[in-house]
Amino acid sequence: MNLHRPLTVPHGRILVALLAILMLTVPASASSLETEDGQRDFDWEIGAWHTDVRVLADPLSETADEWLRFGGKSVVRPLLDRRANVVELEVSGPTGRIDALNMRLYEPQANRWSLTFINLGDGLLTPSLHGGFHHDVGQFHGDDHLGGRPIKVRFLIHRQGPDRAKFEQAFSADGGLTWETNWIAVDRRIGT
């Protein structure tokens, strides 16, 4: 068989039928498939950001009214053809520093993302949160412990245009009936 010779089709009808079958079974474009399945949900965030963070000093306590402030930067880097990404967070304030990573991994079989936070101060991983985006809001949920008691965790990402985003974390000690926000970060893209 000569592999360099062009393929010829003896009947134009066969070619038309094959094209019709392909149009019915193949998505219009690869980007439309990616948009539908969520794999590219974080593409907008790739790059460097100025980050202002407020953290509730003592969440889920009777004295939970003191907010700590931090400022610095975060950098979002794509991994594995953007099927994963990592956020590097470095912020500081009058009460100290926060150095952390957020490892995000797309799970195609479940059409969702997992988010795992890593505090570089203690080297510990938090239990993963799972979810995805609907329009410009990402919702991620999971379970954790605080002070030895089980809690629910909710993490929201509000995309506020191409160069601004807001991140909120909240805890619930009553199975998700009520939520207390304990982390608010506002990011503005660097260089815009």
Rounded to whole angstroms, the Cα distance separating 162 from 172 reads: 31
**Per-residue pLDDT at 34:** 38
| Residue 3 pLDDT exceeds 60 | no
With bands split at pLDDT 50, 70 and 90, how would you rate the model's confidence at 63? confident
Q: Which CATH architecture has domain 38-189?
A: Beta Barrel (2.40)
pLDDT in tens, 91-125: 999 999 999 999 999 999 999 999 999 999 899 99
Contacts for 89 with CB less than 8 Å, ≥ 6 apart? 51, 72, 74, 98, 99, 100, 101, 102
CA nearest to 83, candidates 126, 54, 112: 112
Tell me which H or E stretch contains 152.
strand 149-159
User: What is the phi/psi pair of residue 165, to 5°?
Assistant: -150, 155
With vertex at residue 75, the alpha carbon angle to CA 127 and CA 187, rounded to the nearest 5 degrees, is 90
Rounded to an integer, the average pLDDT of 156-184 is 97
Question: What are the extents of the domains in the chain?
Answer: 38-189
Please name which of 192, 158, 179 lies closest in space to residue 56, comparing C-alpha atoms.
Answer: 179
pLDDT digits (tens, 9 = 90+) for 6-35: 333 333 333 233 223 333 333 333 333 334
SS3 state at 16: helix
pTM: 0.79
User: Residue 75: pLDDT above 90?
Assistant: yes
